Chains A and B, each alone.
Chain A
Amino acid sequence: GQSLEQPSEVTAVEGAIVQINCTYQTSGFYGLSWYQQHDGGAPTFLSYNGLDGLEETGRFSSFLSRSDSYGYLLLQELQMKDSASYFCAVTFGGNNRKLIWGLGTSLAVNP
């Protein structure tokens, strides 16, 4: 079957760097995306990797390695407002634009 695995919880301190991994048991997907969701809020888009390698967007970076079946989201210079849940998702393309989502990682940033 198709599945994505993420750690359920991660804790870090302000100013630190944290990496959230996403490993998958699926193939044939177009790319890996990352979304952030604060408690009670809607998911918001952070980053997308269509190709292997690193994508950088400000304090956030995302990486994909298809050969290793994993990706990660890297958050630098952590701020309290980064406390949220982070989801990875794979997109199946062509006429089939299904998304399969990971269960999410709850990040707690402490002072």
Chain B
Amino acid sequence: EAQVTQNPRYLITVTGKKLTVTCSQNMNHEYMSWYRQDPGLGLRQIYYSMNVEVTDKGDVPEGYKVSRKEKRNFPLILESPSPNQTSLYFCASSPLPSGRSYNEQFFGPGTRLTVL
């Protein structure tokens, strides 16, 4: 089954304790992206990647890191989490758009993170 998986689905942690949220897709997509969703603020892009070893900042990259060492994986790293990073996080992937084309993004199920 074609899908985007995220782990963990739920996480409660404490301020300053490094954590990684994994994202994996089995559709051979070049493009992957991380979003956070907060009430009243909609979806905001954190980082995105056009291909292996190519990453770029979205609108809210502060406090986050990503890496893209393999095509299928795009982990989100919080080196020193803070309470304002409590949010619902989504990973998404799509084929790499060419020119003015658009390819729908496929979203993972989400990771609900609470930082105390």
Given A33-B102, A50-B100, A91-B102, check contact A98 B48 (CB 8 Å).
Answer: yes
Q: How large is the interface on A (under 10, 10 to 19, 20 to 34, 35 or more residues)?
A: 20 to 34
Check A30–B102 contact: CB distance below 8 A: yes
Seen from chain A, the residues whose Cβ lies within 8 Å of a Cβ on chain B are 30-31, 33, 40-45, 48, 50, 87, 89, 91, 93, 95-104
Q: Write out the residue numbers on chain B whose beta carbons fall within 8 Å of the beta carbon of A97.
A: 31, 33, 48, 50, 97
10 further A-B contacts with Cβ under 8 Å, apart from A30-B97, A33-B102, A100-B45, are A31-B100, A43-B43, A43-B90, A44-B107, A50-B100, A87-B42, A87-B43, A97-B97, A99-B33, A101-B43
* Residues of B33-52 contacting chain A, CB below 8 A: 33, 40-45, 48, 50
> Contact mask B75-108 → A, CB, 8 Å, 1/0?
0000000000000001010000101111011111
B residues less than 8 Å from A95 (CB atoms): 50
Residue numbers in B under 8 Å from A100 (CB-CB):
45, 59
Provide the residues of chain A in CB contact with B105, threshold 8 Å: 43, 45
Check if A42 sits within 8 Å of B102, measured CB to CB. Answer: no
